[in-house]
Amino acid sequence: MDVKDLQRENIKTLKPYSTARDEFKGQASVFLDANENSFGSPLPANYNRYPDPLQLDLKDAICKIKGVPIENTFLGNGSDEAIDLLFRAFCNPGKDNVIILPPTYGMYEVSANINDIEIKKVNLLPNFQLDLERIAEAIDVNTKLIFICSPNNPTGNSIHRVAIETILANFKGLVVIDEAYINFAKQKTFIQELTEYANLVVLQTFSKAWGLAALRLGMAFSSVPVIDILNKIKPPYNINQATQDLALAALFNVQQVNEWIKTTVTERDRLSLAFEKITFVKKVYPSDANFILIEVTDALKIYNLLVDNGIIVRDRSKVTLCEGCLRITIGTEEENNQLLTILTQLS
């Protein structure tokens, strides 16, 4: 299989936008080519120049941490941008389809709908693992992408590795593994498999463990042809200079992030045990993420009682296979204590 053949014909023949700095390569000190403000910015730092379209300094630092070459790395304005670009590059509106595995992250479906791409839903099994038989049945010649979220949002579990590998080895389209919560998981990342599978796309993000949701920075790792296509069709300056600077600075503070991850996992295990003891909690699902899904006797009532006490959780009780469930993000120790005090009072 050649992944280049998966792209849309109009993308294959597209002549991409050429930036002022694409057209000039070399040394210069006077830049009068991009209609920027040559005086500076009305700020302590200068943002008057357009940022590097390929974010090479930032990618270099990311690649050192991840062990993935730059040519296999794409950066997006959040992983949500990478998701949207995958649809635009590989899925013909009104013709192609993608497979999603509910209950899962909502953006895959929204992005498909925006791009007028048919969605085929194959529910996870009751244990929230893949239904490989029904996935195989759902695949047809127009199926371009399969989205696998692992650890899965909102259920919190990791998807069994062997099942994912079965799909990677047999599906002729792209397998997108969304690892937004991988830093909290016992299971290891699929990044190491990039050399094995040309049809693998791994999504990660700075929005969760890295604590940079407001900067909007997501990563996609894949084979060179897929990365080249994403770079060809992305908005030229999709990662702004402030985000590039701040993310680069954050990468020097990986130690702090690792400490938070450890605390989050400790707190997750403490909360899971504590939830078990609360009378109206019917089930606590095991979690490999920074949140826990619990089934309660009356989700809306508990949700509203928590709101009355200033605590917001996510009501997932209307979601397939999550009937009666709330999704609770792990907070700081103090926030978690507040939550437990109120839940205990209510029970």
Long-range contacts from 232-236, C-beta under 8 angstroms, 24+ separation: 232/11, 232/14, 232/16, 233/11, 233/14, 233/16, 233/85, 233/88, 233/89, 234/74, 234/76, 234/81, 234/85, 236/17, 236/19, 236/53
Which positions ≥6 away from 330 have C-beta within 8 Å?
264, 267, 268, 271, 290, 291, 292, 336
Q: Residue 102, interface with ligand PLP (CB under 6 A)?
A: no
Stretch that binds ligand PLP, among 6-14, 201-209, 221-229, 303-311 (CB under 6 A): 201-209
C-beta of 226 vs 281, nearer to ligand PLP: 226
Q: Residue 80, interface with ligand PLP (CB under 6 A)?
A: yes
CA 282 vs. chain centroid, Å, equals 30
Q: Residue 336, interface with ligand PLP (CB under 6 A)?
A: no
Considering the complex, what minimum distance in angstroms separates the CB of residue 148 from ligand PLP?
Answer: 10
Number of residues that bind ligand PLP (CB under 6 A): 13
Token pair, residue 3, equals 């992944």
Long-range contacts from 193-198, C-beta under 8 angstroms, 24+ separation: 193/165, 193/168, 194/68, 194/72, 194/221, 194/222, 194/223, 196/168, 197/168, 197/169, 197/223, 198/1, 198/2, 198/3, 198/223, 198/225, 198/226
Considering the complex, what minimum distance in angstroms separates the CB of residue 204 from ligand PLP?
Answer: 8
C-beta of 294 vs 343, nearer to ligand PLP: 294
E strands present in 85-227: 97-100, 118-121, 143-149, 174-178, 200-205, 218-222
Q: Which residues from 157-196 bind ligand PLP, rule CB under 6 A?
A: 178, 180
Q: Residue 78, interface with ligand PLP (CB under 6 A)?
A: yes
Q: CA-to-CA distance for 169 and 240, rounded, in angstroms?
A: 37
Considering the complex, what minimum distance in angstroms separates the CB of residue 217 from ligand PLP?
Answer: 7
Contact 157, 296 (CB under 8 A): no
Q: Which residue has the tokens 């400490």?
A: 259
C-beta of 85 vs 343, nearer to ligand PLP: 85
C-beta of 326 vs 343, nearer to ligand PLP: 326
Q: Residue 199, interface with ligand PLP (CB under 6 A)?
A: no
- Would you give the binding string for ligand PLP spanning residues 133-162, x where CB under 6 A is met? ----------------x---x---------
Find the binder of ligand PLP among 7, 55, 73, 79 (CB under 6 A). 79
Considering the complex, what minimum distance in angstroms separates the CB of residue 291 from ligand PLP?
Answer: 9
Find the binder of ligand PLP among 72, 111, 205, 287 (CB under 6 A). 205
Stretch that binds ligand PLP, among 49-57, 60-68, 74-82, 295-303 (CB under 6 A): 74-82
C-beta of 40 vs 106, nearer to ligand PLP: 106
Token pair, residue 314, equals 């996510």
Which positions ≥6 away from 347 have C-beta within 8 Å?
278, 279, 280, 281
Considering the complex, what minimum distance in angstroms separates the CB of residue 149 from ligand PLP?
Answer: 5
Considering the complex, what minimum distance in angstroms separates the CB of residue 86 from ligand PLP?
Answer: 13
Residues that bind ligand PLP (CB under 6 A): 78-80, 105, 149, 153, 178, 180, 205, 207-208, 213, 218
